[in-house]
């Protein structure tokens, strides 16, 4: 399934600063409803900054971010999240002193409680490992388990747009495959729109309908996943000798 063509998220000319340091230098990105879009780029390119700027922390200094027809550029983070955006952020950010269950409950904080049981079941079907660890404290989970929990927690909020920041980081190939399969399934079966940041360019571009390449705070290339996979510059910079 590909996108319906209707724009769900539009990022226009966004510049983001950390104090005086510029991290995004006029970024344009579009994510259509029902699409999987990926953003690849080297360390420090500004990928995570873009993810967080979409969520309003830090806020864009110039430019505009429109989600679902609404200008969210200057909205506080918690209000943006009420609109149906969820993020599994860089570094996973599991609540260390809460159990797996409580972390998932936090994910569902904005959702009508009547959905909870059912959503929980779905997350456990996706990641059976989490079910075995339900009472364990988040801080004591393994890295892979934490990643699953971070994605599961994001899903518990029933997002329309799921932002994933390097879900494959530090995971065994088998788990990476499992997580990418899960993303594909969710997109196909539920029409979930996904915006994915990855260093694992090979997998990400194969999974995504479209992709962007970010270099030093600028978008330098974009196209369908297949197109980008063929491009010489992409192969040289992100694939050959890369992590696939």
Partner 1 sequence: MEYFVQQLINGLTLGSIYGLIAIGYTMVYGIIGMINFAHGDIFMIGAFISLAVFLILTSVLGFAFLPVVLLIVLIVSMLFTSAWGWTVERLAYRPLRGSFRLAPLITAIGMSIVLQNFVQITQGARVKPLPPQIQGGVTLMQGSTEQGTILVQLSYMQMIIILTTLILMTGFTLLITRTSLGRAQRACEQDRKMAALLGVNVDRTISLTFVMGAALAAVAGLMFLLLYGVIDFYIGFLAGVKAFTAAVLGGIGSLPGAMLGGLLIGLIEVFWSGYFTVEYKDVAAFSILAIVLIFLPSGLLGQPEVEKV
Write out the residues near partner 1 by the rule CB under 8 A: 55, 57, 76-78, 81-82, 87, 89, 93-98, 102, 105-107, 109-110, 137-140, 153, 157
How far apart CA 73 and CA 60 sit, in angstroms, is: 7
Residue 199 partner contact from ligand ATP, Mg ion, partner 1, none using kind-dependent CB cut-offs of 5 to 8 Å: ligand ATP
CB of 93 to Mg ion, least distance (A): 13
Question: Measured from the CB atom, is 2 or 70 closer to partner 1?
Answer: 70
Question: Measured from the CB atom, is 51 or 86 closer to Mg ion?
Answer: 51
CB of 170 to partner 1, least distance (A): 12
Peptide bond into 15 cis (omega under 30): no
Residue of 8, 9, 14, 23 interacting with ligand ATP (CB under 6 A)? 23
CB of 165 to Mg ion, least distance (A): 6
Q: Which residues pair with 210 in a beta bridge?
A: 37, 224
How far apart CA 159 and CA 194 sit, in angstroms, is: 10
Residue of 38, 88, 187, 199 interacting with ligand ATP (CB under 6 A)? 199
Residue 41 partner contact from ligand ATP, partner 1, Mg ion, none using kind-dependent CB cut-offs of 5 to 8 Å: ligand ATP
Question: Of 28, 156, 147, nearest to 84 (Cα)?
Answer: 156
| Residues near ligand ATP (CB under 6 A), total | 13
Is residue 48 a contact residue for Mg ion (CB under 5 A)? yes
Question: Measured from the CB atom, is 67 or 212 closer to ligand ATP?
Answer: 212
Spatial neighbors of 121 by CB under 8 A, at least 6 apart, are: none
- Check: CB of residue 37 under 8 Å from CB of residue 228: no
Is residue 15 a contact residue for ligand ATP (CB under 6 A)? no
Spatial neighbors of 45 by CB under 8 A, at least 6 apart, are: 214, 215, 216, 217
C-alpha radius of gyration, the chain, whole number: 17
Is residue 46 a contact residue for ligand ATP (CB under 6 A)? yes
Q: Which stretch binds Mg ion (CB under 5 A): 66-74, 90-98, 150-158, 204-212?
A: 90-98
Is residue 21 a contact residue for ligand ATP (CB under 6 A)? yes
Joined together, the tokens standing for residue 151 give 């994605």
Number of helices (H) and strands (E), helices first, in the chain?
A: 10, 10
- Check: CB of residue 220 under 8 Å from CB of residue 212: no
- Check: CB of residue 18 under 8 Å from CB of residue 192: no
Joined together, the tokens standing for residue 148 give 């699953």
List residues near Mg ion by CB under 5 A.
48, 90
List residues near ligand ATP by CB under 6 A.
18, 21, 23, 41, 43-49, 90, 199
């Amino acid at each position: 399934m590909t996108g319906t063509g209707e724009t769900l998220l539009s990022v226009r000319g966004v510049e983001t600063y950390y104090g005086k340091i510029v991290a995004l230098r006029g970024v344009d990105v579009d994510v259509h409803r029902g699409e999987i879009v990926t953003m690849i780029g080297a360390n420090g390119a500004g990928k995570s900054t873009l993810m967080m700027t979409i969520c309003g922390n830090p806020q864009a200094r110039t430019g505009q971010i429109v989600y679902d027809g609404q200008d969210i550029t200057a909205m506080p983070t918690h209000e943006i999240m009420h609109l149906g955006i969820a993020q599994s952020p860089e570094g996973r950010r599991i609540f260390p002193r809460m159990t797996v269950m409580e972390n998932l409950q936090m994910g569902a904080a904005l959702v009508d409680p009547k959905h909870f049981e059912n959503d929980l079941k779905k997350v456990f079907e996706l990641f059976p490992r989490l079910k075995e660890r339900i009472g364990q404290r988040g801080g004591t989970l393994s890295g892979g388990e934490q990643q699953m929990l971070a994605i599961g927690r994001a899903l518990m909020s029933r997002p329309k747009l799921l932002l994933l920041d390097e879900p494959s980081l530090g995971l065994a190939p088998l788990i990476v495959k499992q997580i990418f399969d899960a993303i594909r399934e969710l997109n196909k079966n539920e029409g979930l729109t996904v915006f994915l940041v990855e260093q694992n360019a090979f997998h990400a571009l194969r999974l995504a309908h479209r992709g962007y390449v970010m270099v030093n705070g600028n978008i330098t290339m974009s196209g369908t996943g297949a197109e980008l996979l063929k491009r010489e510059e992409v192969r040289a910079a992100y694939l050959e000798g890369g992590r696939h």
